[in-house]
């Protein structure tokens, strides 16, 4: 039987959000509510709102319940995934209410707590209780801290990231994203500087002027960008090629060619995190490789699907959030959930190149990746979760010794944008997935070896190249920015970028991959 046999379910709040979003649709796609004032507010009200701007909040910060569930019994996985998807929809609904009630917030200091955060806590508690019950019924052990994850907080516009000033140490800093294989530690440590970024967006949004890029308070903002020349070279300790693998490691590589989504296969599902749930990602994905990836796809569906890969033995699914330019273009999804109705607006960019390469391990030979293994790298909720799992980086052709995780880069004329994700390359030897979609795999340790009990597997490296019009920044405002699609409350921050992989290579092809890498050959 395939993995997913449940009917496609809609998150609890989808209808409410759709109705609310429809009210906000304008000629340029979704116009998120002006952070300071509505177009019809009086000058006095506008001044009052501006005076209270520091007290207003930019977004909603909720604990990630799913990441606190490393062990959910298999019989309960489907229902728990569904409850977590409904929880994501609750946050989306609350964020929509946040950005469409600015005038009410300006007149009542307790409005956000009483009308948005308080009810959100109650709704989350109901779902948490369901999750606890489902785990208990399946014979699992319920984590003792779940009730404390119900409350959410509001993040003021002038509030910095909790991890501001860190350099990605902790869980992620030592991972090195691939043991010396174009990975490296985390960002330049600049944090997000949310206050500056929000100010830029707020002024743009006043009276919903064209300079809001059709997105208003949903970002990105000027502070989310950095000139590539201002990125410190080798700031992520990137090695010089595969020689960094070492004498005892596996130095080969295998490149699979699967196109750049010429078939225009898009959806806002996430078969890994929210199987069976429509719009489980709340943002649009590009798909290459497997052509049957939707929330309804079972393992059997994936195995018999068509593939865009040149080698038809590779039916793996490679998918990532689309990249858009917020230039006022009305895309096919301008009024849809996951698209414009949830703040993901503008022209979807097709990559010029999508390089999918598997490489070896610095210290040892690699073993085969199990069929139908799921791996997610990066964190779609990193803006509110913190930097621990942020991973994807941005650079420019000709400048790839400079990598930025916490900011989008501005490339000079003649240079193209490069978006890189290097996946976890250690496997626990048993599981093809885990309840939180992380603990069955790990990054290598500082010396390039896998943690105790883990085996080295080929590391997937995804390098995407785009011809992106360079945004212009004037007077603290960014015009026609590019950004990855994101959950609405994540404000299109670059640290929320991520990448997904489901291995559906046939056995003979996977054996070829392993053999090429272990023998030090470069294969396609």
- The pair of structure tokens assigned to 277 is 């749930």
d(CA 139, CA 60): 34
Query: Residue for token digits 């996985």?
Result: 77
Q: What single string gives the DSSP state of each residue in 405-449? A: SSSEEEPPTT--EEEEEE---EE-SS-S--TTSSTTEE---TTSP
Task: Compute CA distances 411 → 13, 142, 234, 327, 478, whole Å.
Answer: 40, 48, 17, 18, 15
Question: What's the mean per-residue pLDDT of the chain?
Answer: 82
* Cβ partners under 8 Å of residue 353, min gap 6: 260, 463, 464, 465
Pairwise pLDDT comparison (288 vs 477), residue with the higher score: 288
pLDDT tier, 510 (very low <50, low <70, confident <90, very high otherwise): very high
Please give the average per-residue pLDDT across 366-385, as a whole number: 97
The residues, ordered by sequence, that sit 6+ positions from 475 with a Cβ below 8 Å of its Cβ are: none
Which one is predicted more confidently, 52 or 93? Answer: 93
Nearest to 138 by CA among 73, 78, 69, 79: 73
Task: Give the β-pairing of 441-442 and 455-456.
Answer: unpaired
- 107 pLDDT more than 80: yes
pLDDT band for 46, please (50, 70, 90 cuts): very low
Q: What would you report as the CA-atom Rg of the chain, rounded to the nearest whole angstrom?
A: 22
pLDDT band at 387 (very low <50, low <70, confident <90, very high): confident
172 φ, ψ to 5°? -100, -30
Kindly state the percentage of the chain with pLDDT values over 70: 76
* pLDDT at 218 (0 to 100): 82
Above 70 in pLDDT, residue 181?
no
**Nearest-angstrom CA–CA distance, 212 and 326:** 9
Distance CA 167, CA 335 (A): 38
Band (pLDDT 50/70/90 cuts) for residue 249 is confident
Q: Residue 462 gets which letter from DSSP?
A: E
**pLDDT tens, position by position, 437-450:** 999 999 999 999 99
The answer to whether residue 170 scores a pLDDT higher than 60 is: no
Q: What is the pLDDT of residues 304-322, one digit of tens each?
A: 999 999 999 999 999 999 9
pLDDT above 90 for 169: no
DSSP 314: B
With 70 as the cut, is the pLDDT of residue 39 above it? no
Residues 6 or more apart from 204 whose CB is under 8 A from it? Answer: 211, 212, 213, 216, 477
Please tell me the predicted confidence (pLDDT) of residue 16: 38
pLDDT, tens only, 195-219: 333 333 333 333 333 456 776 568 8
* pTM, 2 dp: 0.82
Asked if 254 contacts 197 with a C-beta cutoff of 8 angstroms, the reply is no
Give the C-alpha distances (Å, rounded to integers) separating 136 from 47, 123, 124, 139, 273.
53, 20, 18, 5, 21
The average pLDDT across 370-385 equals 96
Burial class (CB in 10 A: 0-12, 13-18, 19+), 158: middle
Buried b (16+ CB within 10 A) or exposed e, 397-410: eebeebbbbbbbbb
Q: Confidence class of residue 478 from pLDDT cuts 50, 70 and 90?
A: very high
**Beta-carbon contacts of residue 320 (< 8 Å; ≥ 6 apart):** 285, 286, 421, 462, 464, 497, 498, 499, 500
For residue 220, say if its preceding peptide bond is cis, omega within 30 degrees of 0. yes
Q: Tell me what pLDDT residue 40 has.
A: 35
């Amino acid at each position: 039987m395939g993995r997913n046999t449940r009917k496609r379910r809609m998150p609890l709040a989808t209808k409410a959000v759709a109705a609310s979003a429809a009210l906000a649709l304008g000629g340029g796609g979704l116009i998120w509510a002006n952070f300071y004032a509505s177009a019809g507010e009086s000058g006095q009200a506008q001044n009052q709102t501006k005076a209270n701007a520091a007290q207003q909040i930019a977004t909603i910060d909720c604990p990630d319940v799913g990441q606190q569930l490393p062990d959910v019994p298999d019989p309960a996985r489907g229902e728990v995934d569904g409850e977590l998807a409904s929880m994501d929809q609750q946050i989306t609904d609350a964020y929509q209410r946040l950005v469409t009630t600015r005038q009410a917030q300006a007149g009542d200091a307790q409005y956000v707590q009483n009308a948005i955060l308080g009810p959100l806590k109650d709704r989350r508690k109901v779902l948490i209780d369901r999750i606890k019950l489902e785990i208990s019924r399946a014979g699992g052990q319920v984590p003792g801290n779940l009730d404390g994850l119900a409350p959410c907080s509001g993040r003021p516009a002038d509030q910095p990231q909790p991890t501001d000033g860190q350099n990605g140490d902790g869980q992620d800093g030592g991972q090195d994203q691939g043991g010396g294989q174009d990975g490296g530690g985390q960002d330049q440590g600049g944090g997000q500087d949310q206050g500056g970024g929000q100010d830029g967006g707020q002024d743009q949004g006043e009276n919903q002027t064209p300079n809001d890029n059709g997105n208003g308070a949903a970002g990105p903002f000027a502070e989310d960008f950095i000139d590539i020349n201002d990125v410190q070279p080798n700031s992520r300790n990137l090695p010089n090629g595969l020689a960094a693998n070492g004498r005892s490691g596996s130095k080969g590589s295998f490149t699979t060619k699967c196109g750049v989504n010429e078939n225009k296969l898009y959806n806002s599902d996430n078969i890994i995190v929210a199987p069976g749930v429509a719009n489980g990602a709340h943002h649009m994905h590009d798909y290459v490789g497997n052509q049957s990836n939707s929330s309804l796809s079972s393992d059997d569906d994936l195995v018999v699907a068509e593939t865009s890969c040149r080698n038809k033995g590779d039916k793996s699914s490679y998918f990532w959030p689309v990249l858009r330019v917020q230039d006022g273009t009305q895309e096919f999804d301008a009024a849809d959930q996951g698209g414009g109705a949830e703040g993901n607006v503008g022209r979807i960019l097709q990559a010029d190149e999508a390089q999918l390469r598997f490489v070896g391990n610095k210290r040892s030979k690699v073993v085969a990746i199990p069929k139908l293994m799921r791996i997610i790298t990066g964190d779609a909720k990193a803006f509110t979760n913190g930097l621990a799992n942020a991973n994807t980086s941005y650079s420019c052709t000709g400048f790839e010794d400079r990598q930025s995780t916490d900011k989008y880069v501005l490339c000079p004329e003649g240079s193209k944008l490069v978006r890189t994700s290097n996946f976890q390359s250690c496997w626990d030897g048993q599981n093809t997935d885990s309840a939180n979609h992380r603990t069955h795999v790990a990054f290598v340790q500082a010396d390039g070896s896998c943690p105790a009990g883990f085996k080295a597997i080929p590391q997937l490296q995804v390098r995407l190249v785009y011809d992106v019009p360079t945004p212009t920044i004037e007077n603290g405002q960014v015009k026609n920015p590019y950004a990855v699609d994101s959950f609405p409350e994540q404000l299109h921050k670059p640290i929320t970028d991520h990448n997904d992989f489901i291995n559906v290579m046939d056995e003979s092809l996977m054996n070829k991959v392993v053999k090429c890498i272990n023998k030090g050959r470069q294969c396609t």
